[in-house]
Amino acid sequence: MDYQPSKNRYDHMTYRRCGKSGLKLPALSLGLWHNFGHVDVLENSRKILQAAFDAGITHFDLANNYGPPPGSAEENFGKILQSDFQGYRDQLVISTKAGYYMWEGPYGEWGSKKYLVSSLDQSLQRMKLDYVDIFYHHRPDPDTPLEETMAALDLIVRQGKALYVGISNYQAEDAAKAIGILKELGTPCLIHQPKYSMFERWVEGGLLDVLGDEGVGCIPFSPLAQGLLTDKYLKGIPEDSRAAKSHGFLQKSAITEDTLSKINQLNELARSRGQSLAQMALSWLLKDVRITSVLIGVSKTSQLEDSLKCLDNCSFSDEELANIEQILK
């Protein structure tokens, strides 16, 4: 049966302006880092994308190397766009990135103009798109002049291959420089995508201030700290969890007695707010006006529905915030 998007999909989602730009993003965006590769079931990926759009999530975030294997998330996303989202391209914000290793040889990673332009051309081919809405430099390159990398982003916009550009994983000082260079080139930096959660707070050491002052949006990834900020680990490490798989991004060693104690205390606080731990962790990020949107990753539609409930309560009392800081100390 053909997919027909929900008629009231825009009724319950909050949309936030991205920095000082004209673009608004949904408070929650869907990241395709995991669960959309060739190793995953395509039908499940389809259901997740449909459920997200039905809930008013208009922004889908990819990168050249998402999968596994690398490139397969973009390929599968392109297939689903063609089969299910024909006629809705102008209601979607699609982003992709380049910066990490993608192909062999000297031009397959980092931040040269050669790599960034080639990579986006490949991404557009895989997704069968004429342009993306946002193209990011995925990580800073210590060896390529920042001017060259930013000039590549500027070129890509002038070529019509991206409407906006952003940066990801840049520390405050380099982010400020990149934003300044792009401003001079006439292609402002739209957004920054950093790792940020209750457990990972480096962005508070200056980056959020830079973004706020410069009018650049912010879209955190890994808001649930790879699943630590969910009820999954309240009783230890389940066998099917990311931490149990030694090859994952979350290592068993990260789950100490101290961490488990913090998770349990945060969970109690969340329950007193009428939320799950995951919902509170998302709300906690969204309480800051400098945060445009939060990227969530899900492996089933029920997780998506659960995350969306965070939007019902994004305000915190001073006492709750003080309690959270006390627990996290």
- pLDDT band, residue 233 (cuts 50/70/90): confident
CA dihedral 59, 64, 67, 72 (to 10 degrees): 100
Q: Is the pLDDT of residue 51 over 90?
A: yes
Give a yes or no: residue 281 inside a domain: no
Compute the C-alpha angle 82/88/90, nearest 5°.
120
Give a yes or no: residue 188 inside a domain: yes
Give a yes or no: residue 315 inside a domain: no
The pLDDT value given to residue 232: 86
pTM score, whole prediction: 0.95
Give a yes or no: residue 206 inside a domain: yes
Q: According to DSSP H, which parts of the chain are helical?
A: 42-54, 72-84, 113-127, 146-158, 172-185, 207-214, 257-272, 277-286, 301-308, 318-328
Average pLDDT over residues 80-103: 98
Report the chain's mean pLDDT, rounded to a whole number. Answer: 95
Give a yes or no: residue 199 inside a domain: yes
Structural domain tally of the chain? 1
Tracing tokens 């210590």 back to the chain, one arrives at 142
Q: Is the pLDDT of residue 234 over 90?
A: no
Q: Is the pLDDT of residue 246 over 60?
A: no
Question: Domain containing 146 — which CATH number?
Answer: 3.20.20.100
Q: Are 136 and 166 in contact (CB under 8 A)?
A: yes
Per-residue pLDDT tens digits for 269-284: 999 999 999 999 999 9
Burial (CB count <10 Å: 0-12, 13-18, 19+), residue 154: middle
Tracing tokens 């949309």 back to the chain, one arrives at 15
Q: H-helix or E-strand containing 207?
A: helix 207-214
The more confident residue out of 68 and 255 is 68
What are the structure tokens assigned to 9, written together? Answer: 């999909």
Give a yes or no: residue 314 inside a domain: no
Give a yes or no: residue 313 inside a domain: no
Q: Is the pLDDT of residue 245 over 70?
A: no
- Amino acid letter, 265: Q
Average pLDDT over residues 199-226: 98
Q: Is the pLDDT of residue 248 over 70?
A: no
Q: How far apart are the first and last CA of the chain?
A: 52
| Residues near 10 by beta carbon (within 8 Å), at least 6 away in sequence | 56
Domain extent, residue 224, equals 15-228+288-300
Bridge partners (DSSP) of residue 17 are 24
Per-residue pLDDT tens digits for 7-23: 999 999 999 999 999 99
Q: Residue 183: how many CB atoms within 10 A of its CB?
A: 14
Examine residue 26 and say whether the peptide bond preceding it is cis (omega within 30 degrees of 0). no
Give a yes or no: residue 79 inside a domain: yes
